[in-house]
Structure 1
Amino acid sequence: IDSSLPLHVLFFPECKGEDRVIQPTADVTAAEGGTVTLDCSFETSYSNPYLFWYKQEENDFPKFLLRRYSGTKNTQDSQENRFNAEVNNKSVPLKIQKLQVSDSAVYYCALR
């Protein structure tokens, strides 16, 4: 009786995880009415990626703030003109002007 079993060898391409965003984890403190900039840098193999900013208030889900496409001139598409971001090389910092108490939240940068 032949008890040998066929052996199948599968090769999978390496997952390099080349696409990612990097955000500082420290809290940012600023005065009401002032301006603050939240940093976000990114790494990607794509030449013209989409970048997004989301705002998550306490006990709520993240809500879309704005989108930026690195291959074109940016337009203001935020729900409020106080929020703006420009893709600059490999970063897309979020600038919030005329700060309000309601701006206190967690802000997420995302890459597509």
Structure 2
Amino acid sequence: MITPMLLKLFIFASVYHEYHGEEIVDQPDKHITEFEGKTVTLQCKFKTASSQPDHFWYIQRANDFPKYMLRRNKYGSEDNDAQFKERFDSKVSSDSVPLMIKNLRVSDSAVYYCALRSTVTETHSTLKQKQRKCSVI
């Protein structure tokens, strides 16, 4: 009998403040522990004055840079990075954009964070995080 491995997912909470109004992103679950093969949903609540915000999810594995996973908006526009198409999904509601991960794998153990704008860019083959006002809670 094979015992399923217990995974721990960490959530990165971030808060953004803009000049033309306030944007807030809150990830209420600070860590989630679940068994391999299960489905998990990571919560992301937001508040924004923008009428057309885009919502982004990122992953940061141990000893690695943050990586773009997917983008969503309330008009149904969707984009997933190729490596996150099969098991990762998100749907936007009026105040949240949860990330669902199906069939958890050991490689899914990482820090996940959501944002209201693109915060990671690729430059000279390295990824750099643009947003500075973030904190791990």
- Bigger-Rg structure (1/2): 1
CA distance in 2, matches of 1:76, 1:35: 21
Aligned position for 2:120: none
1:82 to 2:87 alignment: yes
CA distance in 1, matches of 2:47, 2:31: 23
- CA RMSD in angstroms comes to 1.7
Paired amino acid for 1:51: H
Paired amino acid for 2:28: P
| Cα deviation digits, residues 66-87 of structure 1 (max 9, x gap) | 00012x1244624331000000
Q: How does 1:1-112 map to 2 (within 5 A)?
A: 15=19, 18-70=22-74, 72-75=75-78, 77-79=80-82, 80=84, 81-112=86-117
| Cα deviation digits, residues 6-58 of structure 1 (max 9, x gap) | xxxxxxxxx57511210125210111010000000011001110000000001
Alpha-carbon distance change, 82 to 45 in structure 1, aligned in 2, over 3 angstroms: same
The answer for unaligned runs of 5 or more in structure 1 is: 1-14
- 1:76·1:84 contact (CA, 8 Å) conserved in 2? no
- 2:21·2:49 contact (CA, 8 Å) conserved in 1? no
Structure with greater proportional strand content: 2
- 1:32·1:100 contact (CA, 8 Å) conserved in 2? yes
> TM-score under structure 2 normalisation?
0.65
CA distance in 2, matches of 1:46, 1:68: 14
The answer for unaligned runs of 5 or more in structure 2 is: 1-18, 118-137
Paired amino acid for 1:53: W
- 2:29·2:43 contact (CA, 8 Å) conserved in 1? no
Aligned position for 1:3: none
Identity of matched residues, %:
52
